[in-house]
Amino acid sequence: MSETVPPATAAKVKGFNCPQCGAAVALRGFEHTLTVVCVQCLSVLDAKDPNYQVLQTFQERERIRPLIPLGSRGKLHGTVYEVIGFQERTIHVDGMPYSWHEYLLFNPFQGFRYLSQYHGHWNDINTVRSVPEPAPTGGKPGVRLLGETYRHFQSATAETTFVMGEFPWQVRVGDKAAVQDFIAPPRLLSAETTESETVWSLGEYLSGARVWDAFQLPESPPPATGVFANQPSPYPGRLRRTWVMCLILLGVLLNLAILISALAGKEEVFRQSYRHPRELGTEAAFVTSVFDLPGRPSSVELSIDTDLRNDSAYFSFALINEATGQAWDFGRQVTHSGGGKARDRALVPTVPPGRYYLRVEPELLSRSGFLNYELLLRRDVPAAAFYWIAALLLVVPPVFVGIGAVSFEKSRWQESDYGESSAASEDEEEDEE
Amino acid sequence: MKTANCPNCGARIDFRWSSAVQTVCAYCRSVLVRHDVDLERVGQVGDLPPDSSPIQIAAEGLYRQKPFVVVGRILYEYERGGWNEWHLIFSDSSSGWLSDAQAEYAVSFLSPEQGSALPPAESVHRGTKFQWNGVQYEVSSLTRARYRGVEGELPFQYWNKEEVLFADLRGGDGRFATIDYSEANPLLFLGEAVQFEDLRLKNLRQFEGWS
């Protein structure tokens, strides 16, 4: 897009002197131009009249400086266009004015197209010569054009509030048109209805940088603020990427878990069956025989396997080092309800090697009958909890991006006819520098 | 190419199309109607007002793989500007129209449905729907145009008209229809919007400073 564009001054620009103020008025749109607005005094003139009759004048008017000067040439879609007209249009929502700028672009072979600008958001607009079909979606009005469904965004009356340069139609400040906007980001389909007809146009979202590049404008474009109706959300791509990354890492984690689990010794160090109560009248608590935890420090898993039937038992354990007396206290509630066997497991991480015994204190909820159970100790058992925590952490980024995506769409629709309270949320002022 | 001489000024008239009914002498602007071998001068047209269409007589292009040459034109004007109906002759000698309204282009053809098969002007309003060749069209506007002039070869006698009423209808996919109420028997043209570059036009008018 950054090819050099031949300057408009290569040819003598046709023109005349404004009958109102005498300033030079350029005619760049050939015979297509019906009305031309003097850049000096802003009088609207009849371009088809031999005397360039004055159609509208203004005592005092605030001037608006177009960001792309009239007469600039730029290349869009491989075609050179010249800016020949500029207008500001305004809608009122809940009494608040919202203004945007429209640049009329011309090429003698390809005809006219438009650029619109609102708060640093640009659209590249062309008229549509097919009639979109009504296609309501989810109870909201919508239209269909060329296989794409557009959702209704906003209906308003647009008033022309400032004009400059040339127009191939009869333009006046104060012109009004009923505008309906439908969106399928990055596209925006608009219907403008006047007394005589409805004209549809299709816009595509454009960044300020693209416009600056196309027209070789100095400095940098004004930054875009807020979310525009048809601004493409950056999130769907980002969301897909973070999910893909998340799934890859989850896969790695799963493989790692399988690998570690396969490599883990899961070496049995103690196994014994017991009966509770052991003898009537004795204390429930007892200690097991001493067993050896060999090798390096590793996790120790205790499995409790019971024959509970519709009952519950609570086990208090202490894993005690015979030599040092260091103890790991933990408890487990084992419950049986419905089918299957009542069993549970407990994992003690990083226990140093040495000779150990278990202190066990079972308690039967029903306090009657007998309980048969087996205790099994294995060392070097990988901790599943670590993997669950890691998996959970991996899911955090896509969840956050997902929340971002939802709030982006919320900001978009906030500005529509379907926003929550368009009056309360709007405190921005119009930027007309 | 058939040639003849203008009965008014004697200039040579070249016919690009053997079935031309009317042509305009490029020199004296006499409107000439063909009767077998003779040319009858039926009137004169004024100078055409300046316009900015990039199309001109003898421009060549392609529509749906069929080459055409521009042989004539009718120029209309209405309250929102003017437009041209360029008369096209295709390689198979058939005739069509390329309209150019402010550099928006459309190609259309005369439909065999005409006269009483078409709705009378007073029954056509914005929003009225009609169906031709299985395509539904909706009236988008009624245009009262002024005839501004003719140039070149046309398939019928057409000159010196006053006001002309057109009903413009739109269908899906860029299709459109126009009912021409300028004659007692209305004519129907069916066509579609086309992109300038798709027509692959050659021999175009040049604009200074633009290439």
Task: Read off the pLDDT of residues A133-179 as tens digits, 9 standing for 90 and up.
Answer: 888 888 889 999 988 999 999 999 999 999 999 999 889 999 999 99
Q: With contacts defined as CB-CB under 8 Å, which chain A residues touch B191?
A: none
In degrees, rounded to 5, the angle at the alpha carbon of residue B43 between the alpha carbons of residues B39 and B49 is 115
User: What architecture (CATH level 2) is domain A267-381?
Assistant: Sandwich (2.60)
Across A90-94, A209-213, A274-278, least confident range: A274-278
Comparing CB atoms, the residue among B170, B176, B196 nearest residue A110 is: B196
Portions of chain A given CATH number 2.60.120.380: 267-381
Q: Which residues are CB-contacts of B79 (< 8 A; sequence separation ≥ 6)?
A: A170
A281 pLDDT higher than 70: no
pLDDT on residue A6: 56
- Counting DSSP H helices and E strands in chain B, the numbers are 0, 15
> How close, in Å, is residue A238 to chain B by CA atoms?
34
β-strand partners of B63 = B66
Residue type, position B110, single letter? L
pLDDT on residue A426: 42
Nearest residue to A342 via CA among A385, A384, A300, A310: A310
Residue A422: which pLDDT band, with cuts at 50, 70 and 90? very low
CA distance A336 to A343: 8
User: Comparing A63 with A87, which gets the higher pLDDT?
Assistant: A87
CB A150 within 8 A of CB A167: no
CA distance A78 to B58: 27
A2 pLDDT higher than 70: no
pLDDT on residue A276: 82
CA distance B155 to B89: 10
CA distance A416 to A181: 9
pLDDT on residue A423: 45
A33-66 burial by CB neighbour count: b if 16+ within 10 A, else e?
bbbbbbbebbbbbbbbeeebebbeeeeeeeebeb
- Chain A: which residues have CB within 8 Å of chain B? 6, 8, 10-12, 29-32, 34, 80, 107-112, 127, 129-131, 133, 146, 168-170, 196-198
Strands (E), A307-353: 312-321, 327-335, 343-351
Phi, psi at residue B116, to the nearest 5°?
-70, -15
Alpha carbon A354 to chain centroid, angstroms:
56
pLDDT on residue A267: 86
* Residue keyed to tokens 């906030």: A414
Helix (H) or strand (E) holding A362: strand A354-364
User: Comparing A340 with A422, which gets the higher pLDDT?
Assistant: A340
CB A29 within 8 A of CB A81: no
pLDDT on residue A380: 85
Q: With contacts defined as CB-CB under 8 Å, which chain A residues touch B173?
A: 130, 146
In degrees, rounded to 5, the angle at the alpha carbon of residue A29 between the alpha carbons of residues A24 and A30 is 90
Give the pLDDT confidence of B59-109 residue by residue, as tens digits.
999 999 999 999 999 999 888 788 999 999 999 999 999 999 989 999 999
Report CB contact under 8 Å: B140, A32: no
Q: CB count, 10 Å around CB of A173?
A: 17
DSSP SS3 for A164: strand
pLDDT on residue A261: 81
By CA distance, what is A132's nearest residue in B? B172
Residue A429: which pLDDT band, with cuts at 50, 70 and 90? very low
CA distance A399 to A186: 24
A133-169 burial by CB neighbour count: b if 16+ within 10 A, else e?
eeeeeeeebbbbbeeeebbbbbebebbbbbbbbbbbb
Token pair in block for residue B85: 């109906």
> How close, in Å, is residue A36 to chain B by CA atoms?
14
CB A17 within 8 A of CB A23: yes
CB B156 within 8 A of CB B88: no
Give the pLDDT confidence of B136-169 residue by residue, as tens digits.
898 988 899 988 889 999 998 887 778 889 999 9
β-strand partners of A318 = A329, A359
* Residue keyed to tokens 């009356």: A157
By CA distance, what is A10's nearest residue in B? B209
Report CB contact under 8 Å: B193, A129: yes
Give the pLDDT confidence of A345-375 residue by residue, as tens digits.
898 988 999 999 999 999 887 767 788 899 9
pLDDT on residue A419: 80
Q: Give me the half-sphere count of Cα atoms (radius 13 Å) on the Cβ side of residue A47.
A: 27
Q: How many pairs of residues across A and B have Cβ atoms under 8 Å apart?
A: 78
Nearest residue to A75 via CA among A43, A121, A115, A31: A115
Average pLDDT over residues A57-75: 89
DSSP SS3 for A30: helix
β-strand partners of A17 = A24
pLDDT on residue A3: 53
Q: Which residues are CB-contacts of A156 (< 8 A; sequence separation ≥ 6)?
A: A91, A92, A93, A178, A179
pLDDT on residue A431: 41
Comparing CB atoms, the residue among B51, B80, B209 nearest residue A10 is: B209
Token pair in block for residue A385: 């909890």
The pLDDT > 70 percentage for chain A reads: 93
A268 pLDDT higher than 60: yes
How would you class A377 by CB atoms within 10 Å of its CB: exposed for 0-12, middle for 13-18, buried for 19 or more? Answer: buried
Q: CB count, 10 Å around CB of B33?
A: 18
Residue type, position B210, single letter? W
User: Comparing B104 with A9, which gets the higher pLDDT?
Assistant: B104
Supply the mean pLDDT for chain A: 88
Q: With contacts defined as CB-CB under 8 Å, which chain B residues touch A29?
A: 52
A22 pLDDT higher than 70: yes
Comparing CB atoms, the residue among A11, A108, A127 nearest residue B54 is: A108
In degrees, rounded to 5, the angle at the alpha carbon of residue A91 between the alpha carbons of residues A86 and A95 is 145
Token pair in block for residue A331: 């408890």
A11 pLDDT higher than 70: no
Token pair in block for residue A207: 């960044």
The bridge status of strand A96-107 relative to strand A79-93 is antiparallel
Average pLDDT over residues B1-28: 88
Token pair in block for residue A223: 């930054």
